[in-house]
Each structure stands twice: as structure tokens, then as C-alpha cells.
Amino acid sequence: MLAQELLALGAESTKETVAAVHFVGTRELAYRACLWSRLANRVLMPLHNFSLDEEDQLYQECLDIPWEEHFSHEQTIAIDFIGTSRLVDNTMYGSQRVKDAVVDRIRREEGERPNVDTKNPDIRIQVRQHKGQVTVSLDISGESLHRRGYRSGQGSAPIKENLAAALLMRCKWPEMMKNGAALLDPMCGSATLIIEGAMMAADIAPGLLRERYGFTDWKQHDQELWQSILDEAEQRKGAGLEALDLDFRGYDANPRVLEFATLNIEKAGLDEHIRLAHKPIDQFGKATADYGLLLTNPPYGERLGDLDGLVPVYQKLGAVLQKNFQGWKAAVFTGNVELGRETDLTPTKQYQLFNGTIPCKLLVFEDLTSRSEKIEQRLNKPAPAQELTEGAKMVFNRLVKNQRKLNGWLNKTGVSCYRVYDADIPEYSVAVDIYEDSVHVQEYLPPNTIDDKVARERFAEVKQAVKEFAKDARGHIHYKERRRQKGDSQYERFNEGPSDTITVFEGNAQFEANLSDYLDTGLFLDHRPVRRMVSELAKGKSLLNLFCYTAAVSVQAALGGAKRTLSIDMSNTYLDWAQRNYDLNNISAKNHHLLRADCLKWLETDGEQFDVIFLDPPTFSNSKKMDSILDVQRDHGDLIRNSMAKLAPDGVLIFSNNFRKFKMDELVARQFNAENITPQTLDMDFERNPRIHNVWRITRRSTFG
């Protein structure tokens, strides 16, 4: 989002890195970025970059920078030193060495040295070292840009202004406000979200109230240019406020907090446009507008320390949304996703962000229908219409029965993609999976003893039953015939028309599911517990994911705190898909890599070791991209042994496969600790089919001298 914002301001090019965006532009662009960026914390002007090979080099390189071109001895300075290395492993020491170089240079050029003021310096210098590279920059923003200048009081646990702006942008508020949407925060606190939303709608530069910037005392500051940019911003503000005709409302149960909010709104010059009122969440009536955005940052335990006491808050919020805000978009920013589920709503999208050091989720709801009510409706369907055949009625009744059994578990866990039928009636051999509000039906290949005509008639009855069962579903129903896998068959397209691709949710993760094009959807539902297990094992550790498919295991591991992951597959189709999953979850490529390679060959050549390995080969593959044919029963022994060679001494290998008649290689069982943990990897929706997969936990045997 920041890169797009800078391009809109006139940047010639941008490059995104971890927690930063590099851009090229003029001095005018730098000024505009300081004044107009709603997202940035700081704007830095790089002066020098070098490799740090010797400790004394830090001092000498900084001494050679012509500091006298930027400030004089009469001005105060501060040094922000970030990062450590083998040569400079203490930031205070690094800051001291840079300070020595700067003051020595100014003393040499001007005869006197500048003073240091760490709190309110005239000039702030940032030095960042990373992987042996040191970048020295002038901080032309000065104080962090999130400090707009309107906040006079905070209330409790506020969010920063630029984070509030990011939340609004994720909710598409800039597009919504152009269509006349209202903006409401039912737990507004200091009113930061409402103020930022109103400033966007009124075209008010976020930095217009700031009294000074880092460039204010810079020798090369162009005051005339800066004044012209300020004048333009003032004109835009005046025109924007005059044209502003949207409904902005903030509410809170704490009247003391609203006093702070009132002061903030007045300081921002928006007191004629934002309405505040003292109102607890459970006292809300009908929305004052037909269309709008309700965005709020409820407490989530970090600031109140009472999770049990917060459950009713989220439940009341969900009830109010369902009852009074149909037709609106809603979004909840929380540090506790479990509390977010108490709203009884299914998020359309989730975004991972940080509130300071606290990992949080922005849950966006475009459908404000009760999740449990939708499940209840599915359970309480009336008896099917008489036109259903006897066979279709049997399947329909089994679908309803299974759904009823799963209901409590679904509400408790928040699982929204699950299997509701798996050949429960042998004559109707299909798998029926629910993906959010869509249905995916796979027909198993009938045995040779079943006449083709009979098989077609039975599948037609399944379609009747599923159509009746899912008649209220908002999504589509997709039917596929599941053939025995041969070579690349799992990669072949079933559908030549438009794709039906949706975003689905699993815990904190989001995944792209393609319900129309391929045999598989991109997410193996039976592996849900396996993903949880691997995520827990890999927390703070490294993970190797072999035959990674769409890298769902790696996504959950990365979100769960894995230090680094490497995911390998031969298919460009699935690696591209995996990258889209990474993008959905804001997973950085810095520590989480995708690699196209033949896993069999890679295992023979690469010497890197990992703390956790997930090995999930296909049952059979004769892909043209591979040099050899893979048969999991025949080849798993060598696969496991080669994988164990890449495992750290105290590491864990999780081996999984789908071959129903699988038997573990006796040599592997003797050579390693190999435990069949399949029963631990079956969630409630797959307990009816315990042979859906085989999962083994394999470690090295202890050796004693």
C-alpha cells in the first residue's frame, strides 16, 4: 500500500523491502511524502552506503561524509543506530562511533562541534546495518510521521494514526467514501479511526498540523518550495471540507474517553463533521445510513487482561451487526482471533498487521449474516420435495445427519472448510466438501463391476441430493469425477471456462481455493490437523516442505512463528499458487522461500539441514518433468532415508501419504524411531474415514557411547 501511495504522489520508481519502500524522486516529492503520506513512519534520504569489513571502518566512512553541507555546529544532532553485526554488536557503541565521526568532521570544517540532543534534535541521522551493509541516512521527517498533531489525549491503548489509515485502506474506504458511504466506530476511544477516515474524505494532508519536520533546519531546505506545497494543501483542505457531506459517527461506553476524542476532533478541525455520543454497544439501534463502513478496534485482552470478560463484548458487537447493519461492510481489528469468532460472522477477508509489537488481524465482513444461523438453516431443512428419488432422499438425509453431528464442533473451532460426506452410503461413492459457502463434490471411480449406466444414474441422484441440501448456499456447486491418479492427471484442468477461485480461511491463515479447474482444490482438508502439528513443531525453527503443492503447510508454519521455510515442488502451476497464498498472508520471501526442483534429485545433492521436515509425496507420479517414476510404496524407504539426511540431529520428520494399503519399510522402522500417528491427525469431519491418509512421526534413534 505504501508503494502505491508513493507512486500516486509522483515517485519515479519504488522497491519494496522488509518494513520499507525505497523510491526515487525530487526534493519536492520528498516534501510531499512527508506531508501527504498517510502510511509512512519516516522518510529517509540515504547519504552513503558501504560494506563493513573492519570495525574502524564505521568511523572513517562516516567521517568522510560532507556533513557540513547539511548542518552547522550551531545545530543539535541525534544518531539512531539500528542493527548489529559481528564487528559492531552493540547499537549504543555504534551510535557513539558515528557521533564521534560526525562531530569530528564538523569541528575540522568549522572549528566547533555540534551538541547532541536525543529528544528534540535539529538534525536526526539514521544508521542501519544489515548483513554487512551499512546505510547512513538523513531523517527528513524528524518525529515519526504517525504523529499528525491532532492527538491531545489518548484514552486507553490507542492505535497509531498511520495504522488507522492502513486499516481504512484495507477496508476500501477511499473507494466507499466516493460512493457516499457513512463511517462509524462503535468503540471509538480517542476517535483515531473516524478522524483518519474524515481526513481522507476531506482531502486533508495528514501532516498539515505538524509544526516542524526533519528538513526544517536542513541547510539545503527550500522554504519557498515547501511553502507552495503547504499553500496547495491548505487550499485542498478548504475545498474538501466545504464539499464534505458524509456521516461520521463515533460512540463509546466510556464518557471520559469521549472527552479526549472531542479534543482530538476539534484539533483536527473536524468538529462540524464528526458526531460523538456516549452509547454502549448493546444499545445500538438501526444504522443511520443505508450504506457504510463500521470499523472498530475493540479491546482484546492486551490492554484489559480479561479475556472472559471480553467475550460478551464481541458477541454483542456481532448481534448488533447482524440485526442493524445489513447492507454495510464491517471490520474488526483485534489481537485475538478467537474473540473475533465470537461475533458469529464469517470474515470475507483477513489481513495480518501489527499494533506495535502485537500481531493482530483485520477481519473484514461483507456478509453480516449469522454463521451459526446459516449452519442451523442447513440442519433444519424441511423434508426434501417428493420429486427426489429414493436414493437421492437417502443421500440428502445422510448429509443433514452428518451436518448436524458436525455443528457443535464447527461452532467451537471456527472451521469453515470441511467434509460433510465421504461415501457413507457405499452405492453413492462421492466426497462432499464445504468451502465457506460453496460445495465441492468428487465422484470416486466406480469399480469395474458397476455398469456405466447405473453409475451415471447414481451420480445424478447425488446431484439431486446435494442441490437440495445446498439450495441456500451463496456459492456454487462443483462436480468432479475422481479417477485413479496417473502421472500428471492431478494437474490437468477439468474446466475450460471461467475459474471459480475463492479465498478460504483456516485459523489465522487465508488460502486460495480453486473449485472448478483441477481435481484438487489447492487445500487438502484432511491435512488440517497435520498443518497445525507442523506449525507447532516449526515454531522458532526451520522447516523443509517437500512436494509442497500449494505450500499450505508452510503458510501455517510461517504464521505460527517458523524462523524460515523452504518449500519445493516441480510444478510451476502450484508454486505460483503457493506464492499467491504467501501474498494473501503477507509472508515475506526474505525467510520463506519457494523452489522449483525435482525433490528426488534435490535430496541427493543439497547439504542444508532443517529442524522439521514435512514429506508428503504423491502416491504415484510419472511426470515428464521428473527423471524417474515415483511409487510411494516402493520408493518411500529411500525417500525417508534421504530426507533424514537433511534433518537436524534433534529434528522431526513428518511423513504423510494417501496410499490406502501402505506398509512402512521394515528397514526404516529398524533404522529410525517411526511412529504411526494417523489417529492424531483426524479431525471430526474425517473420523468416518480413518484410511484417508497415513501420517508418521520419524526421528533418529538415540545413540549411547
Residue 460, CA distances (Å) to 309, 391, 453, 464, 656 in order: 51, 10, 11, 6, 34
Per-residue pLDDT at 433 exceeds 60: yes
The average pLDDT across 121-140 equals 94
Count the neighbouring beta carbons within 10 Å of the beta carbon of residue 490.
18
Instruction: Give 552-606 pLDDT, tens digit per residue.
Output: 999 999 999 999 999 999 999 999 999 999 998 889 888 999 999 999 999 988 6
- The rounded distance, in Å, linking the Cα atoms of 545 and 565 is 7
- The rounded distance, in Å, linking the Cα atoms of 152 and 130 is 37
C-alpha cell at 213: 519536520
Instruction: Give 253-269 pLDDT, tens digit per residue.
Output: 888 889 999 999 999 99
- On whether the CB atoms of residues 514 and 500 are closer than 8 A, the answer is yes
Lowest mean pLDDT among 202-211, 469-478, 493-502, 594-603: 493-502
- Nearest Cα residue to 614 out of 519, 541, 686: 541
The average pLDDT across 17-23 equals 80
Task: Please name each of the domains of the chain with its CATH number.
Answer: 45-139 (3.30.2130.30), 161-206+244-369 (3.40.50.150), 382-482 (3.30.750.80), 501-700 (3.40.50.150)
- On whether the CB atoms of residues 59 and 92 are closer than 8 A, the answer is no
The average pLDDT across 352-371 equals 87
- Nearest Cα residue to 369 out of 407, 406, 323: 323
Specify the higher pLDDT residue, 21 or 610. 610
pLDDT at res. 306: 54
Percent above pLDDT 70 for the chain:
91
Structural element, H or E, at residue 8: helix 2-9
The average pLDDT across 211-227 equals 95
Cβ neighbours of residue 595 under 8 Å, at least 6 residues apart?
A: 566, 567, 568, 602
- The rounded distance, in Å, linking the Cα atoms of 24 and 21 is 10
pLDDT at res. 496: 53
Cβ neighbours of residue 183 under 8 Å, at least 6 residues apart?
A: 173, 177, 193, 194, 197, 198, 201, 246, 247, 248, 249, 292, 293, 295
Instruction: Give 523-548 pLDDT, tens digit per residue.
Output: 999 999 999 999 999 999 999 999 99
Q: Mean pLDDT of all residues in the chain?
A: 89
Lowest mean pLDDT among 361-375, 418-432, 609-623, 672-686: 361-375
- Nearest Cα residue to 527 out of 694, 310, 363, 333: 694
Q: In a 3-state reduction of DSSP, which class is residue 435? A: strand
- The structure's pTM equals 0.61
Q: In a 3-state reduction of DSSP, which class is residue 258? A: helix
- The rounded distance, in Å, linking the Cα atoms of 554 and 566 is 8
The average pLDDT across 118-139 equals 93
Read off the pLDDT band of 488 (50, 70, 90). Answer: very low
Cβ neighbours of residue 623 under 8 Å, at least 6 residues apart?
A: 487, 488, 570
Specify the higher pLDDT residue, 613 or 445. 613
- On whether the CB atoms of residues 528 and 434 are closer than 8 A, the answer is no
Helix 27-36 crosses helix 223-243 at what angle (to 10 degrees)?
40
